[in-house]
Amino acid sequence: TQEKTVSIEDAVVFEHLVKPILENKCMACHKEGKIKGELRMDQLAGLQKGGKTGPFLVAGNPDESLFLQRIHLPLENEEHMPPKNKAQLTEEEIEILRLWVASGASFEQKVIELEAEEPLFQLASLKFSQEKSYDFEAPNEDDLASLNTYFRKAKPLFPGSPAVEVAYFGASAFDPSSLQDLKKVKTQLIKLNLNRMPLEGVDLSALSALEHIEEIQLNFTGLSSDQLQPLTGLGSLRKLAVSGNQLDSESIAHLSKMTFLRELYIWQSGFSEEEKEQLQTALSSTKIDFGFDSKGVIYALNPPKIEFEEVLFTESAEVKISHPISSVEIRYTLDGSEPDSISSLVYQGPISLSKTSQIRTKAYAPEWTGSEETKAILFKKGLEPKSYQLKTQPNVRYEAKGATTLFDGVKGKANHTSGEWLGYTDSPLELEIYLKDGDRPSLLDVSLLINEGAYIFPPTGVEIWIGNQNQWKKVTARPPSLPEKAGEPRFQLLSFDLPAEPFDGIRLKVNPIAKLPAWHQGAGAKGWVFVDEILIY
């Protein structure tokens, strides 16, 4: 295709990156002879003019650009672009379009005029650089698909290539055992990005099985010197990045064995000038980047790591908080409030929890900026009801085990497709609970999943009634508290006090958002509410 034959020096962002996408996925409905919505896309003048509903794009503002809004609408929406029966844009194509608009939507800018650090240049460089060929077979499609979660992405190195790259996201959700999954693509995995994952003490022996790995990113991971040992036998490894880890002389011995490296990035690792010289001598053919003299520069600390056995516990739970730098001061809260360096609790050792708690923690140290926070919610199992019944049914795609799901003591994963969540969009969740004789709960908790990117929002309202001998009284109506931007998939806990009076039943109504807010890519579309546990105490 055109974008593969032009050189990167001659490539124009619009002509060779953006226009081919529009030609393949959009122009069939927006060209001479078929100008849908009065929008013509086969001429620059048409793009610049827009259609009957307004400008096609707003340069510099992807969120306000109509065509990107239409692309992000649900597939079933009549205004979704392209139409449901047409070939859809890939994630990479959408990202190219978004970055082009964000960079100013120039029709003349050349690729080489972009800064090398810009994501659009990096995407372009992959398109126009010489694609390396590999003689091994592509991975099994099911194996590759199984590696994709909300916190890990696996994809071919470039379209049609059997080679694979994998990147991890979301430090708080990192599961060390997931490294074993990489063995499914041990032959095909070429690039691995584990930057900022909490790897302190994690067994990295699974990486030694990667047969053709060429690049590994391990920056700011809490890595220790002994964890480098499994990498010493990776003869195909050409690029290694281990910046931001406090390494010692033992690491020199391991790194010195990696004479196959072409590039080594090792900023802020605590090496003396003598140790740097020793390593440079051992790796005389390797380009080593030790960074710059950081005197006077203040860096942010890595966030702490929260460790516990189970998210949902019976009587009590022990929580440990750790940080790769032992001298930092760890501050935390248990009530969901943001921790600070003055008034929040100082971590002294394992924390014993006897009730549902929302843990938030940060690390602090002199001459460092405080870390980003780490969050976790631990749930104590509630009272077991005498009976319960859903008065409204969840969407058939997200019905899990029905009403049993809400009281089974199994905390859902941060993935709405895991089969552990009830999902509602067209109607509210309505539930009736009847208590055992003698139970007098004072608190009700609703456990939610939030993932704005998947249209899953907090409810716009929660209503509670208490009943005594089938006489019902409304006691709570929660006003909406909606996010103002998208975040990572995460848990949310809503807690409600129950009145100190006799009652034998509870009615609960949880309302999904009817229209997504204006800032969202699917503004105006229906949203979802996802619930996995109802806890009464």
Q: Which CATH number goes with the domain that contains 398? A: 2.60.120.1190
pLDDT digits (tens, 9 = 90+) for 238-271: 999 999 898 888 999 999 999 999 999 998 888 8
Final residue belonging to a domain, choices 341, 365, 380: 380
User: Does residue 362 belong to any structural domain of this protein?
Assistant: yes
Residue 230 vs residue 413, higher pLDDT: 230
Exposed e or buried b per residue across 183-220, where buried means at least 16 C-beta atoms within 10 angstroms of its C-beta: ebbbbbbbbbbbbbbbbbebebebbebbebbbbbbbbb
**In the 8-state DSSP scheme, what is residue 431?**
E
Residue 271 vs residue 508, higher pLDDT: 508
> What pLDDT shows up at residue 213?
97
How confident is residue 78, by pLDDT bands cut at 50, 70 and 90? Answer: confident
Final residue belonging to a domain, choices 343, 358, 380: 380
> What pLDDT shows up at residue 3?
36
**CA pair distance 259, 472, nearest whole angstrom:** 76
Return all residues near 50 (Cβ < 8 A) that are at least 6 apart: 39, 56, 57, 66
State how far the alpha carbon of 501 is from the alpha carbons of 444, 466, 469, in Å: 15, 10, 13
> What pLDDT shows up at residue 118?
81
| Average pLDDT, rounded, for the chain | 87
Is residue 344 within 8 Å of residue 239, measured between CB atoms? no
User: Does residue 108 belong to any structural domain of this protein?
Assistant: yes
Considering the domain architecture, whether residues 148 and 274 belong to the same structural domain is answered as yes
pLDDT digits (tens, 9 = 90+) for 374-398: 999 999 999 999 999 999 999 998 9
| Mean pLDDT value of segment 340-357 | 93
């406090």: which residue's tokens? 246
Answer yes or no: is pLDDT of 160 > 80: no
Q: How many domains does the chain have?
A: 4
**CA pair distance 140, 146, nearest whole angstrom:** 10
**CA pair distance 26, 109, nearest whole angstrom:** 22
CATH at 327: 2.60.40.10
Is residue 509 within 8 Å of residue 432, measured between CB atoms? no
**CA pair distance 494, 499, nearest whole angstrom:** 17
User: Does residue 22 belong to any structural domain of this protein?
Assistant: yes
User: Does residue 75 belong to any structural domain of this protein?
Assistant: yes
| Mean pLDDT value of segment 149-165 | 87
User: Does residue 54 belong to any structural domain of this protein?
Assistant: yes
User: Does residue 420 belong to any structural domain of this protein?
Assistant: yes
User: Does residue 133 belong to any structural domain of this protein?
Assistant: no
User: Does residue 294 belong to any structural domain of this protein?
Assistant: no
Considering the domain architecture, whether residues 205 and 241 belong to the same structural domain is answered as yes
Is residue 362 within 8 Å of residue 339, measured between CB atoms? yes
pLDDT digits (tens, 9 = 90+) for 189-246: 999 999 999 999 999 999 999 999 999 999 999 999 999 999 999 999 999 999 989 8
Considering the domain architecture, whether residues 407 and 531 belong to the same structural domain is answered as yes
Considering the domain architecture, whether residues 269 and 167 belong to the same structural domain is answered as yes
| Mean pLDDT value of segment 335-357 | 93
Final residue belonging to a domain, choices 380, 414, 448: 380
Considering the domain architecture, whether residues 364 and 393 belong to the same structural domain is answered as no
Percent pLDDT > 90 in the chain is 54
- Residue 492's identity, in one-letter code, is Q
Considering the domain architecture, whether residues 469 and 393 belong to the same structural domain is answered as yes
Residue 438 vs residue 62, higher pLDDT: 438
Domain span at residue 277 reads 141-289
| Mean pLDDT value of segment 295-324 | 84
Considering the domain architecture, whether residues 434 and 510 belong to the same structural domain is answered as yes
Considering the domain architecture, whether residues 303 and 230 belong to the same structural domain is answered as no
Answer yes or no: is pLDDT of 2 > 50: no
> What pLDDT shows up at residue 25?
82
Sheet holding 345-346, edge to edge: 312-313, 374-380, 357-364, 329-333, 345-346
> What pLDDT shows up at residue 69?
84
- Token pair listed for 478: 């929660």
Considering the domain architecture, whether residues 192 and 282 belong to the same structural domain is answered as yes
Residue 266 vs residue 40, higher pLDDT: 266
Considering the domain architecture, whether residues 521 and 448 belong to the same structural domain is answered as yes
> What pLDDT shows up at residue 145?
92
Answer yes or no: is pLDDT of 73 > 50: yes
Task: Sort 420 into a burial class: Cβ within 10 Å, 0-12 / 13-18 / 19+.
Answer: buried
Give the range among 59-68, 171-180, 517-526 with minimum mean pLDDT.
59-68
How confident is residue 61, by pLDDT bands cut at 50, 70 and 90? Answer: confident
Considering the domain architecture, whether residues 398 and 421 belong to the same structural domain is answered as yes
Considering the domain architecture, whether residues 210 and 331 belong to the same structural domain is answered as no
Return all residues near 125 (Cβ < 8 A) that are at least 6 apart: 8, 111
